[in-house]
């Protein structure tokens, strides 16, 4: 297991009718981190959704992270927050959430990864590694750049961007501690099977590093 539980599968939510059922199945089958992405609900909806997801994660001893919003993370007593390049600073998030919070930062280049470590982030998200339809404003990166990042920073690395069972092992072999998935789980016809196969691919990636 990576530092503070950063290992294998990191699930980012997206709106769907069976969101809580899918997250429950994912947690039951080994997802260790869930990030709540609250792009569409109103403020009251944010809090209700976040608190329900937090409770689910606690039932399975998984980490619960809020995207972008340290204030919401504080209100719902999340384990931490994940910050984009345009969000508040790591230092500001730390002031709001305290020393025990897990603070991640999205990065796309080696320079951004090094900067995130210097600023006190607990882990980095790195990508976009592969084509994805989940976000329209992505910045492309590569497995080669991921390898350089892995060699240069000591923080846990969560690979993100178009990751599915067919390429998850590649990301792990290139140096990621975990892979972030969205549609590969949230849109899967069989959520349980998708999670289990992703877990298997992560293990296969680690074997390939031995």
Domain layout of the chain by residue ranges: 3-209
The pLDDT value recorded for residue 3 is 47
DSSP state of 48: H
Catalytic residue of the set 7, 22, 94, 106: 106
Check if 106 is active-site.
yes
Catalytic residue of the set 37, 52, 173, 196: 37
CATH 3.20.20.70 fits 3-209, yes or no: yes
**CB distance 35 to 50 below 8 Å:** no
Give me the torsion for CA of 180, 182, 184, 190, rounded to 10°: 120
**What residue spans of 60-129 are helical by DSSP H?**
70-75, 90-97, 110-118
Lowest mean pLDDT among 36-40, 112-116, 166-170, 184-188: 36-40
DSSP state of 43: H
What pTM value is reported for the model?
0.92
Check if 37 is active-site.
yes
| pLDDT tens, position by position, 161-186 | 999 999 999 999 999 999 999 999 99
**CB distance 120 to 104 below 8 Å:** no
Catalytic residue of the set 4, 52, 135, 173: 135
Residue 133 tokens, joined: 């339809």
């Amino acid at each position: 297991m990576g530092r503070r539980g950063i290992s294998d599968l990191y699930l980012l939510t997206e709106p769907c009718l069976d969101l809580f059922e899918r997250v429950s199945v994912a947690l039951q089958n080994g997802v260790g981190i869930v990030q709540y992405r609250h792009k569409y609900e109103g403020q009251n909806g944010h809090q209700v959704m976040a608190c329900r997801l937090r409770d689910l994660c606690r039932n399975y001893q998984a980490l619960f992270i809020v995207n972008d919003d340290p204030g919401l993370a504080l209100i719902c007593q999340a384990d931490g927050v994940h910050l984009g390049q345009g969000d508040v600073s790591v230092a500001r998030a730390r002031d709001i959430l305290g020393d025990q919070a897990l603070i991640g930062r999205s990065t796309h280049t080696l320079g951004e990864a090094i900067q995130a470590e210097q600023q006190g982030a607990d882990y980095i998200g790195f990508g976009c590694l592969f084509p994805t339809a989940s976000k329209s404003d992505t910045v492309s990166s590569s497995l080669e750049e991921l390898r350089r990042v892995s060699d240069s920073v000591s923080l846990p690395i969560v690979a993100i961007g178009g990751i599915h069972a067919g390429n998850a092992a590649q990301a792990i072999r290139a140096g990621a501690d975990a892979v972030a998935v969205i549609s590969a789980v949230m849109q899967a016809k069989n959520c349980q099977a998708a999670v289990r196969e992703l877990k298997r691919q992560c293990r296969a990636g680690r074997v390939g590093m031995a």
